[in-house]
A and B are shown apart, each in its own frame.
Chain A
Amino acid sequence: MAFISSGYNPDKPMENRITDIGPRKYDEFYPPFIAKNKGKWLYHEYLKPGVLVHVAESGDEVYTVRCGGARLMSVTLIREICEIADKHCGGYLRFTTRNNIEFMVDSKDKVQPLIDDLESRKFDAGSFKFPVGGTGAGISNPVHTQGWLHCHTPATDASGPVKAVMDVLFDEFKNHRMPAHLRVSLACCLNMCGAVHCSDIAILGYHRKPPIIDHEYLDKMCEIPLAIASCPTAAIKPSKVELPDGKKVNSVAIKNERCMFCGNCYTMCPSLPLVDKEGDGIVLMAGGKVSNRISAPKFSKVVVAFIPNEEPRWPTTCDVIKKMVDVYAANARKYERLGEWAERIGWERFFEKCELEFTHHLIDDFRDPAYFTWRQTTQFKF
């Protein structure tokens, strides 16, 4: 493994340096039929799950085949995607916001060979590499975060639970039989680098134990005032601690009953880890949306306060989600999003139908917004 220089000279970092050039410009990568018809599209239609046609004023038609993918991708897999795009699509492709891959062709006769090719490709252990679907009134690819694979603050894994849940929901990825589209998202801690707080179903990793204090190192690794200021509930205060060897050090004390387990202190101070096998797990939220269609965008609500991490396949999480999806599909009206359905029937009925237990954890007690979620009416259902 001999070192190969790129041309960069560490002694003269500014020599020949290129900076601030941004991404490549979007129109360099448009397929010709996209460049030609941009801004002049007439209408679109889903020909079947995973297959769209867009018709332009010019009469041109573009057919898109959408397929799911794990957002964790090797260069081997990306090269395979390139090979498919070269073979069928003139060397162009795109990804969607929800980690789907879209292959576009300019005539209908090219669609089926493309689908056949995509569906024929499987990993050695049997899973599809490029399942076609993820459109319309179905369940698209979940957006998710990094999890145990590459993050320092997660309370659950990301790729694992997503794989487990999507195996369970796979038929809905391949179908158009939901009342409306249903978005599942996962964030492995409440930093939510993939904001999931407005998803039909959100899987959220959460801690439940206050930080462990690494007194011996805290003052060396952290700015104590920053750690104190980071706490939204003022649970952290400065303290002096005597170590077992008699040495006195500056550290912090934590009022555990004030901790809401957000982990913001750990972000500011590595000597305050929260992770714990029993403490960490999953919060399930439901009923959010970002679209302005019919009703305004809304937040997801916590419907299950805690499910333990059951790696490798998170069976309880999968079961609860499957139940919610099935009950929603069987009961909601056409076009009704999960949250719109829950609001129409009432959350008391939602919990009953989904066979979810309502516990005190689900009543908001965090600052002013809490009041607006309590019920100030006699209109309720038995």
Chain B
Amino acid sequence: MKHETPLLDQLESGPWPSFVSDMKQEAERRAKNPDNIEYQIPVDVVEDIMGLLELSYVHGRTHWKHGGIVGVFGYGGGVIGRYCDQPEMFPGVAHFHTMRIAQPGAKFYTTEHLRNLCDLWDRRGSGLTNMHGSTGDIIFLGTTTKQIEEIFFELTHNIGQDLGGSGSNLRTPADCIGQARCEYACYDTQDLCYDLTMEYQDELHRPAFPYKFKFKMDGCPNGCVASIARSDMAFIGTWRDDIKIDQEAVQAYIGGEFVPNAGAHSGRDWGAFDIQKEVIGLCPTECMWMDGKELKIDNKECNRCMHCINVMPRALRIGDDRGLSVLVGGKAPILDGAQLCTLIVPFVKAESPYTEIKENIIEPIWDWWMEEGKNRERLGELMKRQGMQKLLEVTGLEPDVRMVQEPRTNPYIFWKEEEVEGGWDRDINEFRKYHQR
């Protein structure tokens, strides 16, 4: 190894997969080059990034310079410029740009596709990746400026694959596994995700927004991709008819033939399954009860929290009148504090080509945000600054009590003139006829 890494070496012990060990094996392979690869960036990049990271471990500070503008022609996102601040010590990573590669739906891959990506990145990049980045993209970690167009050319021509989003644009949308392998999915998350990704390629590649914008698709209220916390617009599957009950299967759970909560609690003895305590008693709306041997649900009172279905997946199934709820404005703390998404559409059918979702929800909200949003202001912050009423106004959505946890506790209503009989123009002389000065 080119650099001593005594601090990083301490992260090789212990059972959890060691990223240090993985980097070392990559560095060694590059040095030996058993497959005679014609490396297009320095062979020792992995050794240099390990040296640089070791220096950060010594200093307790990052050694990456602030940003840097690099990209591919015609796109404003997908590549993040990265330069290290000790290029003389670590010349291999003097330029070490990140490329975001749009991931396929629910991150299913064929080994052929993954190998093609690996071969490309091995030759023209560091050979280090993130599988996957926080927003969902495949992250290619580190290449030189000159290789960026070459990688993009090969990516699009030979692998049929595009870059993802970065900067003030639509970020690469991400979805849960959905109907591909989950019985809870209330709509086809992969299809909506792919459809919106393709429909809005321009917004994804060419930054025209005040700040980043994220779509995430969760198939049910369990929220496996955390859309309600991690996106500006969350599409969360739901249904509005009755939970389907298989009474025989309910009895099988009660009788201990089926394992509750799909076996998720198998590592501890929690005692015999108690439907009263574990399902009926934990129902947040108290809309379930046993009528003799029959489980009853007052579906009108159900808020579809998924608990009973999660505990007894073989007995209870989501309803058939399915669609999704739209919630908007989620974000991390920067700047004005963290926000969760707020419900704005309780139910909409999710059927291709998703015209209602695009034309009545996404596009009017974007128009408003692009017009009114300040630099680096997320949608959720604009909603706080201009108010939920404004959002309803620009979308034409009807106010619905489901949009709030509770009505307002102050009477400071911004009445509009047209809402008040007679308007606001009044004659002071007419007023004074009845009220002396």
* A198 and B226 form a contact (CB under 8 A): yes
**Given A8-B149, A70-B22, is A197 in contact with B15 using a C-beta cutoff of 8 Å?**
no
B121 within 8 A of A: yes
Selected from B43, B61, B122, B141, the residue in CB contact (under 8 A) with A150 is B141
Bound Cα distance from A138 to B278, whole angstroms = 18
Set of chain A residues within 8 Å of B337, measured between Cβ atoms: 366-367, 369
Bound Cα distance from A299 to B185, whole angstroms = 25
A241 within 8 A of B: no
6 tightest A-B CB contacts, nearest first: A26-B105, A136-B264, A167-B14, A192-B332, A270-B66, A177-B267
Which of A87-95, A249-257, A347-355 has 4 or more CB atoms under 8 Å from chain B?
Answer: A87-95
* A163 and B11 form a contact (CB under 8 A): yes
**24 A-B contacts (beta carbon < 8 Å):** A4-B40, A4-B123, A6-B153, A21-B156, A29-B108, A45-B262, A46-B266, A48-B263, A69-B131, A71-B132, A76-B22, A93-B114, A124-B25, A127-B12, A127-B18, A130-B17, A150-B142, A163-B17, A163-B18, A177-B265, A190-B333, A280-B60, A293-B306, A295-B284
B213 within 8 A of A: no
Selected from B10, B230, B376, the residue in CB contact (under 8 A) with A312 is B10
* B221 and A192 form a contact (CB under 8 A): no
Selected from A25, A47, A143, the residue in CB contact (under 8 A) with B104 is A25
* B161 and A21 form a contact (CB under 8 A): yes
List 13 additional contacts besides A74-B26, A92-B110, A293-B310; criterion CB under 8 Å: A13-B149, A23-B104, A23-B161, A23-B162, A49-B267, A81-B114, A95-B107, A148-B62, A159-B19, A196-B332, A290-B226, A295-B284, A366-B337
* B113 and A24 form a contact (CB under 8 A): yes
Selected from B112, B162, B270, B376, the residue in CB contact (under 8 A) with A21 is B162
Bound Cα distance from A358 to B180, whole angstroms = 46
Bound Cα distance from A136 to B311, whole angstroms = 11
Which of A36-44, A108-116, A320-328 has 4 or more CB atoms under 8 Å from chain B?
Answer: A36-44
Least CB distance from A102 to B in Å reads 9
**Given A24-B160, A191-B332, is A42 in contact with B183 using a C-beta cutoff of 8 Å?**
yes
Set of chain B residues within 8 Å of A129, measured between Cβ atoms: 17
Selected from A1, A273, A290, the residue in CB contact (under 8 A) with B39 is A1
Interface residues of B in 35-89 (CB under 8 A from A): 38-40, 42-43, 46, 49, 53, 56-57, 59-67, 73-75, 82
Bound Cα distance from A243 to B15, whole angstroms = 54
A235 within 8 A of B: no
Bound Cα distance from A217 to B367, whole angstroms = 38
Bound Cα distance from A71 to B122, whole angstroms = 17
Set of chain A residues within 8 Å of B127, measured between Cβ atoms: 74-76
Which of B193-201, B388-396, B421-429 has 4 or more CB atoms under 8 Å from chain A?
Answer: B193-201
Interface residues of B in 214-269 (CB under 8 A from A): 221-230, 259, 261-268
B410 within 8 A of A: no
* Chain B interface category by residue count: 35 or more
* A176 and B267 form a contact (CB under 8 A): yes
Number of A-B contacts defined by CB within 8 Å:
458
B320 within 8 A of A: no
Bound Cα distance from A250 to B66, whole angstroms = 21
* B57 and A163 form a contact (CB under 8 A): no
Least CB distance from A93 to B in Å reads 6
Bound Cα distance from A206 to B134, whole angstroms = 19
Least CB distance from A377 to B in Å reads 16
Least CB distance from B100 to A in Å reads 11
* B106 and A264 form a contact (CB under 8 A): no
* A94 and B61 form a contact (CB under 8 A): no
Interface residues of A in 107-145 (CB under 8 A from B): 123-131, 135-138, 143-145
* B110 and A198 form a contact (CB under 8 A): no
Selected from B40, B157, B176, B305, the residue in CB contact (under 8 A) with A18 is B157
* B118 and A78 form a contact (CB under 8 A): yes
Least CB distance from A150 to B in Å reads 6
**Given A82-B115, A195-B229, A264-B334, is A152 in contact with B65 using a C-beta cutoff of 8 Å?**
yes
Selected from A143, A159, A335, the residue in CB contact (under 8 A) with B134 is A143
Set of chain B residues within 8 Å of A99, measured between Cβ atoms: 131-132
Set of chain A residues within 8 Å of B14, measured between Cβ atoms: 127, 163-164, 167, 170
Bound Cα distance from A28 to B113, whole angstroms = 10
Closest residue of chain B to A94, judged by CB? B108
Least CB distance from B74 to A in Å reads 6
Set of chain B residues within 8 Å of A24, measured between Cβ atoms: 104, 113, 160-161
Set of chain A residues within 8 Å of B306, measured between Cβ atoms: 291-293
Q: Which of B67, B123, B267 has the most CB of A within 10 A?
A: B267
**Given A6-B153, A97-B226, is A136 in contact with B266 using a C-beta cutoff of 8 Å?**
yes
Set of chain A residues within 8 Å of B179, measured between Cβ atoms: 38-39, 41
* A22 and B16 form a contact (CB under 8 A): no
* B114 and A190 form a contact (CB under 8 A): no
Closest residue of chain A to B123, judged by CB? A4
* B11 and A160 form a contact (CB under 8 A): yes
* A290 and B228 form a contact (CB under 8 A): yes
Set of chain B residues within 8 Å of A54, measured between Cβ atoms: 181-183
- Chain A 226-264, CB-CB to B under 8 Å as 1, else 0, gives 100110100000000000000000000000000000111
Interface residues of B in 116-173 (CB under 8 A from A): 118, 121-123, 127-136, 141-142, 146, 149-154, 156-157, 160-162, 164, 172
Set of chain A residues within 8 Å of B61, measured between Cβ atoms: 148, 275-277, 280
* A292 and B221 form a contact (CB under 8 A): yes
* A71 and B131 form a contact (CB under 8 A): yes
B8 within 8 A of A: yes
Q: Which of B21, B134, B191 has the most CB of A within 10 A?
A: B134
B414 within 8 A of A: no
**Given A18-B156, A20-B205, A38-B180, is A190 in contact with B332 using a C-beta cutoff of 8 Å?**
yes
Least CB distance from B245 to A in Å reads 14
Set of chain A residues within 8 Å of B225, measured between Cβ atoms: 97
Least CB distance from B176 to A in Å reads 7
- Chain B 290-314, CB-CB to A under 8 Å as 1, else 0, gives 0000000000000011110011011
* B57 and A311 form a contact (CB under 8 A): yes
Bound Cα distance from A137 to B25, whole angstroms = 34
Set of chain B residues within 8 Å of A299, measured between Cβ atoms: 338, 340
A317 within 8 A of B: no
Least CB distance from A31 to B in Å reads 8
Interface residues of A in 313-360 (CB under 8 A from B): 313, 334-335
**Given A20-B162, A193-B134, is A44 in contact with B7 using a C-beta cutoff of 8 Å?**
no
A266 within 8 A of B: yes
Least CB distance from A297 to B in Å reads 5
Set of chain A residues within 8 Å of B122, measured between Cβ atoms: 75
Set of chain A residues within 8 Å of B154, measured between Cβ atoms: 6-7
* B336 and A232 form a contact (CB under 8 A): yes
Selected from A4, A17, A27, A125, the residue in CB contact (under 8 A) with B21 is A125
B335 within 8 A of A: yes
Bound Cα distance from A163 to B19, whole angstroms = 8
Least CB distance from A346 to B in Å reads 20
Least CB distance from A288 to B in Å reads 8
* B264 and A176 form a contact (CB under 8 A): yes
Closest residue of chain A to B154, judged by CB? A6
Bound Cα distance from A24 to B363, whole angstroms = 25
B397 within 8 A of A: no
Least CB distance from A202 to B in Å reads 10
Set of chain B residues within 8 Å of A86, measured between Cβ atoms: 111
Q: Which of B104, B157, B180, B278 has the most CB of A within 10 A?
A: B180
